[in-house]
Structure 1
Amino acid sequence: MTERALTPVPRLLSACLHLLVLALLVLATVRAFLGAAEHPGGVLIAAVVVGAVYLTGPLLSGVRRSAAGAGLWLAVLLVAWLGLLVLTPDAVWLAFAWYFLLLHLLPWRVGLVLVGITAAVAVAGFAWHQREFMVAMAVGPVLGAAVVVATVWGFQQLHAESERRRALIAELTATRAELAAAEREQGVLAERERLAREIHDTLTQGFSSVNLLLTAAGRQLAGHPGLDGPAGYVEQARQVSLDNLREARSLVRALAPPDLRATSLTDALRRLADRTRTPEVTLRTEGEPFALPTAWEVALLRIAQSALANTVAHAGATRATITLTFLAGEVHLDLVDDGSGFDPADLPDGPGPEGGFGLASMRSRAAELGGTLVVESAPGAGTAVSVRFAGEVEHEER
């Protein structure tokens, strides 16, 4: 990005600059006809030429788009100005307007050099008309150049600061929108998980119990040939409860997190490990995998995500291992890292200093499903998080 792109002149400043050039040209012409110049007609013609060249600049697209086009236009303008300066010493004050143009339209260093040359030419032209040089003649052009340089530099810094603030505001706005979207998504996911747990703990368990009772009743009725009618109704009721059990399980599956809807818990944990770059995460499985209740899978996945997030954010670990173990009627999930560790006794029972529940939330999630969560850690000795679910496992249909 060029300096010209970084320092646009506001419309008000541009209007003031146009008025300044026009006023100085009119002043030089009027003074010439009042006797301040030997050739007033020539001054008038030269002033018209300078004004015409100056007014042409804003109309040319090349002047606005490139430093080369602006440089060519400025060269023609300064040559026309030199002609006017030869005819009248009053043209020296136009140099003040040219300073702004040079610094605005050209790269900063080139503009500074040309401002110095323009100031020197203005001083020399004024001295040539006076037939002698005095230090006082240099005060006006040099002081004007210094004021313009300081003004443009200050405006450039203000504009750069404004751009930085604009970028920061845009970044903060985008971040706020992302956080709001993440909070909404998290709220939706949390509600879906709550509904899944409610359906699993009420409807699914209720239909399972009804199915078991009807199955037992059907077996007893099967031993009494005279009760074929009631036995048929019992079997029909059992089929209805079984169909509704399948439907309830389908609802629970549909409300599960996206990572678990079309895949297994092992695959979901593997993707979690692969997505984490630091620390390096390894997934291990032990035992013969079997179908778990959806509520268990959801809890295990969420606990693994939360524990790994804590490791990434706080542990400073280089390696972490997730171990999923299947035993008879129970499942264990362990996450061990080689990070800095901590004293578990120092953790708050409720929300942490950053507003998160951390380990307290993981314990609560495990306890809601009859599981247990254990944390082992010490300063400098890494951290191990272990969660266990056990009980009679129904093999749910997928």
Structure 2
Amino acid sequence: MSRTSPPDPGAPAALPRGREASDVPPLRLVRLAFHGAFYALLGVALAPTLAGRPSAGPLAVLPLGALLAAVYAAGTVRPARRPGLWLSAVTALWLALLALDHGFSYVAFPLFFLFLRALPVRWAHPAVAAATAAVVAAQATAPGGLTVAKVIGPAAGAAVAILTAYGYAALHRESQRRERLIDDLVRTRDELAAAQREAGRLAERQRLAREIHDTLAQGLSSIVLLARAAETAERDTARERVREIGLTAADNLAEARRFVQALTPPALEDAPLPEALRRVTARTVPGAVFRLDGEPCPLPVETEVALLRLTQEALANVARHARAEHTAVTLAFLDGQVALDIYDDGVGFAPGRGPADGRRTFGLHGMRERIAGLGGTFTVESAPGEGTAIAATVPTAPKEIRVVGAAA
């Protein structure tokens, strides 16, 4: 039995005990069905007494039957941490009723499942066998005495209960195995995507490190050497060294500006993001409409670059493949975030299967990765013959980047 979660004694057929079993909807329904079967069979057994049959001993059977129903309900509504005590009480009350009236033999069938559910295997099978023997003994006191049918019937019921219990246990284990497999696949996919993003960041970092080492770092080293030489040189020589330091510093400043310009697309060099998107829209898809909603606010460079690249890629797809009559690009500045929507009424495609012409959709994957790297969301809605809508939302504040380590 689970040490962390008390088993529900009413759960069906030797299913694994604990929270996992009750979390499976079909098994929950089966468990409720067995609860209902218990009360139905108990009601059938009490019916002759309620009808006034004097030989059934109504003064003893009715209170015991009501007590059995209450004890059973208490154990199913609030499962006990030690179900053995609860099951012992239920079994004792049932045996007392069985001794008074053999009609309670039918209640043994749901009890078989309780034994198989709440007890370890080494105790469950002997308990089922003992309950079967008690039923056979009670049937022997019925009119007609002991017959072969009165032995075969209870024995067959116990066998069916055992086989059903282990059948449900096998199904539940298979269901859990598949759920774990799906969880592993989803986790592996997420880890792979994160590894790919990190590999891209590392590659860009290494490229910049090489560029800085070959240009700015070399220039700064030259400045340091010239400054040291100027300290010990004569006046005229020192002036010459200072001039060389100034020229070298100017060259490094130019290199630094070149880096900044290389990281910024030309479209954003002389225009803000809305105007850059307006120009890209008009140039890529003539006749397309650009709309601006909200009051523009300063955005991080990486956010502007991502939105510009996304617009360029999406509009290029429209121009090459969509055959659209109308295209609209909307840039909206909202509270704490900026949203970009691109819509066309072209041929569309099925996102899950790729475009109808068989082309590979690396562009969409790149858009999604670029927006996800900024902490935003990216969605694509399309269907054959119904156009395409692309939406991206990115926070206006830059993501906080935590530096793990640095190399000289």
Q: What TM-score, normalized to structure 1?
A: 0.50
Name the SS for the 2:56 alignment partner.
coil
Question: Post-superposition shift, 1:195?
Answer: 1.9
The answer to whether residue 105 in structure 2 is matched with residue 87 in structure 1 is no
Residue 114 (structure 1) aligns with? 127
* 1:20 maps to amino acid: A
Question: Post-superposition shift, 1:35?
Answer: 3.5
Give the distance between the partners of 1:183 and 1:171, measured in 2 at CA: 18
The answer to whether residue 196 in structure 2 is matched with residue 190 in structure 1 is no
Residues 1:189 and 1:131: Cα distance change in structure 2 (over 3 Å): same
The answer to whether residue 62 in structure 2 is matched with residue 44 in structure 1 is yes
Of 17, 23, 29, 1:5 maps to 17
* 2:72 maps to amino acid: Y
Describe how 1:261-276 pairs up with structure 2 within 5 A: none
Contact 1:36 1:88 (8 Å CA) reproduced: no
Residues 1:31 and 1:241: Cα distance change in structure 2 (over 3 Å): farther
Describe how 1:136-155 pairs up with structure 2 within 5 A: 136-155=149-168
Contact 2:48 2:56 (8 Å CA) reproduced: no
Of 160, 170, 174, 1:157 maps to 170
Give the distance between the partners of 1:52 and 1:209, measured in 2 at CA: 89
Question: Post-superposition shift, 1:121?
Answer: 0.8
Question: Post-superposition shift, 1:129?
Answer: 2.1
The answer to whether residue 83 in structure 2 is matched with residue 77 in structure 1 is no
Name the SS for the 1:196 alignment partner.
helix
Give the distance between the partners of 1:73 and 1:208, measured in 2 at CA: 82
Residue 21 (structure 1) aligns with? 38
The answer to whether residue 43 in structure 2 is matched with residue 30 in structure 1 is no
Contact 1:200 1:248 (8 Å CA) reproduced: no
Deviations 1:285-309 (A, max 9, x none): xxxxxxxxxxxxxxxxxxxxxxxxx
Deviations 1:259-303 (A, max 9, x none): xxxxxxxxxxxxxxxxxxxxxxxxxxxxxxxxxxxxxxxxxxxxx
Contact 1:47 1:84 (8 Å CA) reproduced: yes
Question: Post-superposition shift, 1:167?
Answer: 2.5
Question: Post-superposition shift, 1:60?
Answer: 4.8
The unaligned stretches of length 5 or more in structure 1 are 251-397
Contact 2:46 2:65 (8 Å CA) reproduced: yes
Residue 239 (structure 1) aligns with? 245
Give the distance between the partners of 1:131 and 1:78, measured in 2 at CA: 27
Residues 1:95 and 1:210: Cα distance change in structure 2 (over 3 Å): closer
Contact 2:216 2:252 (8 Å CA) reproduced: no
Name the SS for the 2:21 alignment partner.
coil
Between Structure 1 and Structure 2, how many residues are aligned?
Answer: 235
Describe how 1:214-363 pairs up with structure 2 within 5 A: 232=239, 235-243=241-249
The unaligned stretches of length 5 or more in structure 2 are 3-13, 257-407
Residue 72 (structure 2) aligns with? 54
Residues 1:126 and 1:192: Cα distance change in structure 2 (over 3 Å): same
Worse-superposed segment, 119-128 or 241-250: 241-250
Residue 399 (structure 2) aligns with? none
Give the distance between the partners of 1:48 and 1:209, measured in 2 at CA: 95
Question: Post-superposition shift, 1:203?
Answer: 5.3
Identical counterparts, % of pairs: 37
Question: Post-superposition shift, 1:158?
Answer: 1.6
Q: What TM-score, normalized to structure 2?
A: 0.49
Q: Which protein has the larger Cα radius of gyration, Structure 1 or Structure 2? A: 1
Deviations 1:320-365 (A, max 9, x none): xxxxxxxxxxxxxxxxxxxxxxxxxxxxxxxxxxxxxxxxxxxxxx
Question: Post-superposition shift, 1:50?
Answer: 1.6
Residues 1:209 and 1:44: Cα distance change in structure 2 (over 3 Å): closer
Question: Post-superposition shift, 1:248?
Answer: 11
Which has more helix, going by share of residues?
A: 1
Give the distance between the partners of 1:245 and 1:88, measured in 2 at CA: 106
Give the distance between the partners of 1:198 and 1:150, measured in 2 at CA: 72
Residues 1:240 and 1:44: Cα distance change in structure 2 (over 3 Å): same
Name the SS for the 1:130 alignment partner.
coil
* 1:14 maps to amino acid: R
Residues 1:172 and 1:244: Cα distance change in structure 2 (over 3 Å): farther
The answer to whether residue 110 in structure 2 is matched with residue 97 in structure 1 is yes
Deviations 1:59-104 (A, max 9, x none): 455x2x3xxx212221221111112112222100000010111111
Contact 1:126 1:137 (8 Å CA) reproduced: yes
Give the distance between the partners of 2:170 and 2:140, measured in 1 at CA: 36
Question: Post-superposition shift, 1:194?
Answer: 1.5
Deviations 1:201-242 (A, max 9, x none): 45567x49998xxx8xx99xx99x9xx69x94x533411345
Root-mean-square deviation (Å): 3.9
